[in-house]
Amino acid sequence: MPRREPRTELDARYSSTGATATPWPDAVRQLKAAELFWISTVRPDGRPHVTPLPAVWLDDALHFCTGPEERKARNLAANPETILTTGTNLWDKGYDLVVEGPAVRITAEDRLRRLAAAWEAKYGSFWHYEVRDGCFHHGPGHAYVFEVAPRTAFGFGKGEPFSQTRWRFRADKPVAP
């Protein structure tokens, strides 16, 4: 699969003098390493819903899972637009990332098996999933798996130099179930 290269821009309005845009490969390294993400979805009545979860970067996209009865899954059934964020809780140190795009459910068992292996490799045996019926299975429950291929992403460098980088992606990635 060809790599999706975004258009990269530094927003000088929110960046220190002399700051430079963060290259997308640097952001991808941070997305791969991050252990905790916050997902934002929209409730049917328009109110936001935010909750933490683990996620895995694979095939140029973030992936997360959730039970079909959970609020985020029900929100995504009505509106697939989502935002995933990760970073540090410090204002003057570290780097924060925001990934925006539609969440698309993955049901192909070969992709789910690759994702299950990636989850366990990243998070350990507690996150071991069996794959069947287009879902992850863990203990007595099952979970839907979603992909968020970035449409737009933002990076916030904190501390001198402060920086804000925006990455814009073309909408040409075919989404496979």
How much is the pTM?
Answer: 0.92
Q: What is the pLDDT of residue 170?
A: 85
Position 133: which residue type? D
Q: What is the pLDDT of residue 5?
A: 86
CATH of 7-168, one of 2.30.110.10, 3.90.550.10, 3.40.630.40, 3.40.1450.10: 2.30.110.10
- pLDDT tens digit string along 155-167? 999 999 999 999 9
> Residue ranges of the domains in the chain?
7-168
Q: What is the pLDDT of residue 41?
A: 98
Which residues of the chain fall short of a pLDDT of 70?
1-3, 172-177
Q: What is the pLDDT of residue 163?
A: 97
Per-residue DSSP letter, 172 = -
Beta strands per DSSP E along 43-151: 48-53, 56-58, 61-66, 81-86, 95-106, 130-132, 135-138, 141-148
